[in-house]
């Protein structure tokens, strides 16, 4: 349910505390943390704090979103909204400020909607926010905010440079907090040896990575020292602390993590193989101090925005054409404990978009109808969701947001840009300011379009791409994404024209061949489809999406054994592939094996809750098992996620009719099913 905003409503009056509610809420962000690395460490007793947290609360996967770029994802977490709603579409954006080289870092003024700390400010609650991605300049919220640029400083002749202007609110806290910054020079041998046991010998050699390790540890330690000081000295209702360290360590050291990659030398492997384990153990120790400070009356939520490949799916570290995001795995972590959180449970099907609505519920405040995520009510001791308001952005009142015209210092912007260039996330901006701004617009538009594609908003994706100039639209990434949209919309003739042209320009491009195979399969030409996909398989046999597509072709041809083999191959490559589990569910459904179909479809939606096709298959399996009421519920979820899902309304109508409902009652029930679709979903279609 949602209720319209009213000019007479004020935010504090919306708060509905519940029995057993936490006194306060602490959100901890570990960028790129992944259960695939955490679970073995827990089993070996090397992360005892997190192990105890899992025993005391709930945990599970957290589905990420495409593209897996930190500024987009962490702002989706903070706002509960997709990038097209919150306005941050990449690392940089065109700059109207002189002296910035035509581009600037995305910032708190780039965000076009309220974050959770703005909402809490409006509700007269105090927040502490430390290091959040794209939070500079610090917003004038109720409480204290330390931006993500605060940790950037240099030490010259033993003296640290002052904190960047605007990096702390209130500004009078800046000098005090500056004392808690940790410089790389303070990271001594006792801190280095747990990561690099051979550091004493290694430092004598050229091109070692000890300096990089010191810089990364100093950044993490600065965030932690600042956060713990504020948590212990300030009054707060909500705190959010963001640690970038695991992701930064991954880009520097994951290629050396066991098992040894073929592209890595034995010497480098032996030198750096302990670094990733070391950074996880370091984070576990920091978590222990956070939990001690927070106390038993605080609900603590720990999340990551995505995972990080640490196994056979790691990309070639020497492939210069791969983006750093190629290392990102599409499932992050979620763990929670404390008052208001159930104990000893496993969470399934959560996504980044569910975090803000759930945090608001814990704080006794409603989510809004323009937040597409759900309240994770199954992990709460009070699972009854508060009725949503239409939009927090439309509710008047002081929220601590900046005016959009707030400027950033050009020198700060250039230094931050240099760090992103060094990490490989962006190319060095052109000396031509106009070209640099044009390039930033291109990549941000492409990122936005990829986000829309991932949300299955295909016409909107094409609309975004169509805003690009003629030169940009002729580039390979844009043409490939537009072709994928046309395929998804079943615009086969237009897709064929575009893919044939792409095949002329790039005849051996694997994605072009993959999509040609997909198109041939959709048009019933399975022989040609297999020819294209076999070419892809021979060139890159470890792509799980490839075997999922082969399984789909075999299923369409009723070669059920071959389909099962293909989907199982996909699972042998990536055991967390929702598409492979959904494919197996469809095979078993075609064979009238309802229980097996239900098991695999349930596994698929447990991995990714927002999977309307999965809920549709669940409904069909439940019908075969003579469970019509459960099938109705599955269809209602399907319709809420994909209002245009072919066949969903028809099957729901048939079920209602079989239950003896009158047409009038059926129409009422269908209206209720449509009413549960969030405002954001209605706007997407």
Q: What is the pLDDT of residues 424-482, one digit of tens each?
A: 656 666 667 788 888 999 999 999 999 999 998 999 999 999 999 999 999 999 999 99
pLDDT value of position 681: 45
Residue range 586-605: mean pLDDT, rounded: 96
Phi, psi (deg, nearest 5) at residue 34: -140, 130
Interior angle at CA 337, CA 335 and CA 341, nearest 5: 105
Residue 228 has pLDDT above 80, yes or no: yes
Domains, the chain, ranges and CATH? 21-389 (3.40.720.10)
pLDDT value of position 685: 41
Phi, psi (deg, nearest 5) at residue 169: -130, 135
Which DSSP helix (H) or strand (E) runs through 418? helix 410-423
Residue range 582-589: mean pLDDT, rounded: 97
pLDDT value of position 364: 95
Contact 169, 138 (CB under 8 A): yes
Contact 529, 518 (CB under 8 A): yes
pLDDT tier at 541, thresholds 50, 70, 90: confident
- 3-state class of 456 per DSSP? coil
Residue 677 has pLDDT above 60, yes or no: no
Count CB-CB contacts under 10 A for residue 660.
7
SS3 helix, strand, coil % of the chain, rounded to 5?
50, 10, 40
Q: What's the pLDDT tens digit per position in 204-213?
A: 888 899 999 9
Q: What's the pLDDT tens digit per position in 329-350?
A: 999 999 999 999 999 889 998 9
pLDDT tier at 532, thresholds 50, 70, 90: very high
Residue 627 has pLDDT above 50, yes or no: yes
Give the span between the Cα atoms of 661 and 672, in whole angstroms: 15
Residue partners of 521: CB distance under 8 A and separation at least 6: 529, 549, 552, 553, 556
Give the span between the Cα atoms of 253 and 213, in whole angstroms: 9
Span of 149-163, 239-253, 364-378 with lowest mean pLDDT: 149-163
Residue range 306-322: mean pLDDT, rounded: 92
Percent of the chain whose predicted confidence (pLDDT) is above 70: 92
Residue 502 has pLDDT above 60, yes or no: yes
Residue range 144-157: mean pLDDT, rounded: 91
Residue 172 has pLDDT above 50, yes or no: yes
Positive or negative, the CA dihedral 225, 227, 230, 233 is negative
Average pLDDT over the chain, rounded to whole? 91
Residue 423 has pLDDT above 80, yes or no: no
pLDDT value of position 663: 86
- Cis-peptide into 67, omega within 30 deg: yes
Characterize 377-415 residue by residue with b for buried, 16 or more Cβ atoms within 10 angstroms of its Cβ, and e for exposed: eebbebeebbebbbbbbebeeebbbbeeeebbbeebbbb
Could you tell me which residues are beta bridge partners of residue 331? 63
Positive or negative, the CA dihedral 539, 543, 546, 552 is positive
Give the span between the Cα atoms of 382 and 599, in whole angstroms: 28
The CA–CA distances, whole Å, from 7 to 3, 394, 403 equal 13, 9, 22
Q: What's the pLDDT tens digit per position in 183-227?
A: 999 999 999 999 999 999 999 888 899 999 999 999 999 999 999
Q: What's the pLDDT tens digit per position in 77-134?
A: 999 999 999 999 999 888 876 666 688 889 999 999 999 999 999 999 999 999 999 9
Q: Can you say how many angstroms the Cα of residue 148 is from the centroid of all Cα atoms in its chain?
A: 18
Positive or negative, the CA dihedral 482, 484, 490, 495 is positive
Which DSSP helix (H) or strand (E) runs through 333? strand 331-337
In the 3-class helix/strand/coil scheme, how is 81-110 assigned residue by residue? Answer: CCHHHHCCCCCEEECCCCCCCCEEECCCCC
């Amino acid at each position: 349910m949602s209720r319209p905003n009213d000019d007479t409503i004020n935010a504090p009056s919306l708060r509905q505390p519940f029995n057993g509610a936490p006194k306060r809420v602490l959100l901890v962000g570990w960028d790129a943390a992944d259960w695939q690395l955490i679970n073995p460490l827990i089993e070996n007793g090397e992360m005892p704090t997190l192990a105890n947290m899992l025993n005391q609360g709930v945990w599970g996967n957290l589905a990420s979103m495409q593209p897996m770029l930190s500024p987009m994802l962490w702002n989706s977490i903070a706002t509960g909204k997709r990038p097209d709603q919150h306005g941050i579409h990449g690392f940089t954006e065109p700059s109207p400020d002189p002296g910035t080289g035509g581009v600037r870092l995305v910032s708190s003024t780039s965000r076009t909607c309220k974050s959770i700390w703005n909402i809490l400010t409006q509700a007269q609650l105090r927040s502490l926010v430390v290091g959040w991605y794209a939070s500079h300049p610090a917003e004038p919220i109720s409480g204290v905010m330390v931006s993500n640029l605060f940790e950037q400083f240099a030490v010259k002749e033993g003296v640290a440079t002052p904190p960047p202007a605007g990096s702390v609110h209130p500004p009078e806290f800046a000098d005090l907090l500056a004392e808690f910054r940790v410089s790389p020079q303070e990271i001594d041998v006792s801190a280095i040896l747990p990561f690099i046991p051979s550091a004493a010998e290694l430092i004598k050699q050229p091109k070692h990575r000890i300096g990089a390790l010191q810089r990364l540890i100093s950044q993490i330690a600065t965030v932690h020292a600042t956060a713990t000081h504020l948590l212990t000295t300030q009054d707060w209702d909500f705190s959010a602390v963001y640690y970038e360290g695991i992701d930064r360590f991954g880009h520097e050291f994951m290629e050396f993590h066991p098992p040894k990659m073929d592209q890595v030398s034995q010497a480098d492997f032996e030198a750096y193989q302990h670094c990733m384990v070391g950074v996880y153990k370091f984070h576990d120790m920091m978590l222990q101090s956070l939990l001690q400070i927070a106390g038993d009356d605080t609900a603590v939520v720990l999340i990551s925005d995505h995972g990080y490949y640490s196994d056979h799916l790691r990309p070639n570290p020497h492939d210069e054409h791969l983006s750093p995001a190629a290392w990102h795995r599409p499932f992050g972590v979620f763990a929670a404990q404390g008052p208001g959180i159930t104990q000893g449970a496993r969470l399934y099907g959560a996504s980044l978009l569910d975090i803000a609505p759930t945090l608001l519920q814990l704080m006794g405040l409603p989510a809004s109808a323009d937040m597409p995520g759900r309240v994770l009510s199954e992990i709460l001791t009070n699972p009854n969701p508060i009725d949503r308001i239409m939009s927090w952005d439309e509710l008047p009142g002081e929220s601590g947001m900046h005016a959009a015209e707030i400027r950033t210092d050009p020198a700060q912007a250039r230094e931050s840009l240099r760090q992103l260039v060094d990490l490989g996330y962006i190319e060095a901006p052109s000396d031509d300011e106009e070209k640099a701004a044009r390039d930033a617009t291109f990549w941000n538009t492409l990122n936005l379009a990829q986000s829309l594609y991932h949300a299955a908003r295909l016409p909107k994706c094409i609309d975004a791409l169509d805003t690009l100039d003629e030169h940009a639209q002729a580039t390979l990434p844009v043409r490939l994404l537009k072709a994928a949209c046309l395929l998804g919309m079943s615009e086969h003739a237009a897709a064929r024209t575009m893919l044939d042209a792409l095949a002329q320009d790039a005849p051996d491009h694997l994605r072009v061949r993959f999509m040609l195979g997909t198109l041939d399969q959709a048009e019933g030409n399975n022989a040609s489809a297999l020819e294209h996909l076999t070419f892809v398989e021979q060139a890159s046999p470890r792509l799980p999406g490839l075997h999922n597509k082969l399984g789909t072709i075999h299923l369409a041809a009723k070669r059920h054994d071959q389909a099962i083999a293909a989907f199982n191959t996909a699972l042998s490559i990536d055991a967390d592939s929702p598409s492979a589990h959904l494919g197996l569910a469809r095979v078993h459904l075609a064979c009238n094996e309802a229980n097996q179909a239900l098991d695999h479809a349930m596994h698929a939606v447990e991995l990714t809750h927002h999977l309307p096709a999965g809920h549709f298959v669940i409904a069909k399996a439940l019908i075969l098992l003579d469970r019509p009421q459960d099938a109705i519920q599955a269809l209602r979820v399907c319709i809420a996620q994909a209002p245009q899902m072919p066949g969903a309304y028809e099957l729901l109508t048939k079920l209602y009719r079989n239950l003896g409902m009158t047409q009038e009652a059926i129409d009422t029930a269908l209206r209720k099913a449509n009413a549960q679709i969030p405002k954001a979903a209605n706007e997407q279609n």
